[in-house]
Structure 1
Amino acid sequence: MRGAGGNSGDGAGAMSGATPAPVARDWSTPLELLGLGMVWGASFLFMRIAVPDFGPYALVEVRLLLGALVLMPFLWRARALFPARRWLWLAPIGLINSALPFVLFAWAAQRAPAAIGAICNAMTVLFAALVGYLFFGEKIGPRRALALLVGFSGVVVLATAKVSGLAIGTAVAAGTVAALLYGVGANLVRRHMSGLPPAASAAATLGCAALWMLPMALNHWPRQPVSVASWASAIALGIVCTGLAFLVFYRLIGRVGPSRAATVTYLIPLFGALFAWLFLGEPVTLQMLLAGGLILGSVAVSQR
């Protein structure tokens, strides 16, 4: 029906000799993708600044609490959709999809430049496909299988790199495991949280993750005063990079679908490396560029 209507309209315009009206371009989607890539790229910069003062556990607790508070009104409005039995899945998803990967990325930020975590984060798309294939019977296809191999070769290249003469293999391993957990979480969310309002679901899982992290955060709360820069970075990490960014991301998914929204994956490492270089003077080595190219190229092939 849409094709028939479109053809008749084009024909009428041609026959009448009228100049067709210009089609308005939707700039909101690319601008929101660009902004989201900048915000999530900056999250690795904020972790790098704040984690020396806070430590990974306390920093992640602040991030989770603030992110959950930003989204809590959406959960309150949809509370009837969250009976007690549903929390049996929300609690472990919060652990797998938020608490553990946040801690791993923060731990990695203590030991390697911000760009390292941002590059590892791009593996999430590939791990989601791999977990779906191994445990949920999804087809992977030869093209995506090849993309996985190329992506993992990028991780190997990154893990063997040195920055300022220091090995970063343990930080790469932590970031890769965090991306794997994101991949597991993506499959769990798809199967056990479908039909729920996304912002409310995010508030629920972030709140559960904050409860998971609370004992470790209290036990490792910083004994020394935390600098203003670290507090500002932690607050930005929670409010902007978690709470508000989730709202934008879910709005994008609703407007353009999950595949197109996931293209923000390509922007995060670029902005993560750029901000770390600009504000912290962290180097971007040839090996990091090669590894990032392999990983992002594999993600692009897998999402065609």
Structure 2
Amino acid sequence: MKIKDETLGMWLGVLGVSFFAVTLPMTRLATGTAAAPQLSPLFVTVGRAALAGVLSLVFLLATRSPVPQRHQWKPLGMATLGNCLGFPLLLGYALRVVTASHAAVITALLPLATAAIAAWVLHQRARFGFWVCAIMGSLLVVAFSMLRASQHGNGFGFEWADLLLVGAVIAASLGYVYGAQVTPSLGAERVICWVCVMALPVSLPATLALWPQQPVATSSWAGFVYVGVFSMWVGFFAWYRGLALGGALRVSQTQLLQPFLSILAAVPLLGEPLDLVTLAFAAAVVGTVVIGKKLSQPRAIARPATAGASL
């Protein structure tokens, strides 16, 4: 039974990562491009949060989930700002300018950024090698951005949208770290539900106020529904359940597939070409993530046999 649980956990992890990977092309489908805009990034941000919030409220009521305690509201609030509002808003505006494949390379830094912010927020001292990997991954992203800017005729500089993508990565990382602080006590599925419900007082009226008055393509509405239901809600259920069944250490490795799945999904959904340079940079960034994650924890310090447990 244990082997079956581990196998099921891995498949659920892959399913969750697949849902998250398609977020990039689906967000671009929803917002459109600068030349052919559809739904505004602000509407997509609050709308997807409102849709997930309503679903979360139904789930919490159906399962009779207890209300979080006072000390749990602050980390939940930080997770709401980072994951529910900051990340999708910055991502939406960026994807009006750059392709989903381009964004996949920048956001491939997310696991490494999460580990770095965890070390900072939790006052942990990571190994020197981890910071070397973090710098190398960042330099690869900078090189990719400058290469793409020069190819687009913008000279030796940056795509301004890349700054938005970096901001999105930081916002998501902060949200993940603060959400993880209350996951052991609340339960993983309930954390994402409470995060979405906390946003409802803002997201629901904002969605109604920003409802588009102009005609919107059916494909854009499909992208909007996807990011609200699957990216913001169902994906987390599959992901967290996979971590619980298969073990966080094993299942979390499936995250390494995410940038490649995003690039592949953008081909049929958006008609983006399969660019070997983009794939090569994605592979290089993922390589730094693999090494960096192994070095993200501080080296264990030997203690005398008589020393009692601390922390």
1:226 aligns with 2:240: no
Equivalent residue, structure 2, for 1:158: 144
Helix, strand or coil for the counterpart of 1:99? Answer: helix
Q: What letter is aligned with 2:181? A: R
Q: What letter is aligned with 2:187? A: P
Equivalent residue, structure 2, for 1:104: 90
Q: What letter is aligned with 1:80? A: P
Q: CA offsets, 1:235-279, max 9 Å, x none?
A: 122112221111101101211233333223211111111121233
Counterpart-to-counterpart distance in 2, 1:213 and 1:41: 24
Superposed counterparts of 1:76-95, under 5 Å:
76=61, 77-83=63-69, 86-95=72-81
1:28 aligns with 2:13: no
Equivalent residue, structure 2, for 1:66: 51
Using a 3 Å threshold, how does the CA distance of structure 1 residues 287 and 146 change in structure 2: closer, same or farther? same
1:54 aligns with 2:39: yes
Equivalent residue, structure 2, for 1:120: 106
Q: For the Cα contact (< 8 Å) 1:69–1:203, is it kept in 2?
A: no
Equivalent residue, structure 1, for 2:130: 144
What percent identity do the matched residue pairs reach? 20
- 1:193 is displaced (CA, Å) by 4.6
Q: More helix per residue: 1 or 2?
A: 1
Q: For the Cα contact (< 8 Å) 1:75–1:199, is it kept in 2?
A: no
**Aligned residue pair count:** 282
TM-score (norm 1): 0.82
1:294 aligns with 2:274: no
Q: CA offsets, 1:138-185, max 9 Å, x none?
A: 121123122111211121122213277365722222112111122222
**Unmatched 5+ residue regions in structure 2?**
33-37, 295-311
Using a 3 Å threshold, how does the CA distance of structure 1 residues 79 and 156 change in structure 2: closer, same or farther? same
Counterpart-to-counterpart distance in 1, 2:51 and 2:277: 36
Counterpart-to-counterpart distance in 1, 2:4 and 2:175: 38
Q: Which stretch shifts more, 168-177 or 48-57?
A: 168-177
TM-score (norm 2): 0.81
Larger Rg: 1
Superposed counterparts of 1:151-190, under 5 Å:
151-162=137-148, 165=152, 169-190=159-180
Counterpart-to-counterpart distance in 1, 2:83 and 2:103: 16
What is the aligned-residue RMSD (CA, Å)? Answer: 2.6
**Unmatched 5+ residue regions in structure 1?**
1-22
